[in-house]
Amino acid sequence: AVLIDSSADDDFFSTLAFALPDGSISVIVLNGNRQYRRLDVGELPGTVGEVMNSSIEAYDVVLDVRDGYYLLPPLSVTSFVVVL
């Protein structure tokens, strides 16, 4: 994997994007906030194929299809595989 982008909205929310050998992109989102954070699906460059999450509690990543965003749990690391 090759790092292609990284950003941070604040000290507690950041993203890393990696190009994978199969042509897809892995996006890692770190939510260090003690509250849910929104991630707009429109910001991702393709179709999300897989979502994995790890947090200190038993939270789920919630996709609000109607409004087109993911709701990321507090204190979590979430991985999105994006198929271009």
Examine the pLDDT at 56 and tell me if it is beyond 60.
Answer: yes
Examine the pLDDT at 31 and tell me if it is beyond 90.
Answer: yes
Share above pLDDT 90 across residues of the chain, in percent, rounded to a whole number: 37
> Which amino acid is residue 22, in one-letter code?
D
R_g of the chain, CA atoms, integer Å: 12
CB 46 within 8 A of CB 84: yes
CB 44 within 8 A of CB 55: no
Q: How large is the average pLDDT for residues 18-29?
A: 94
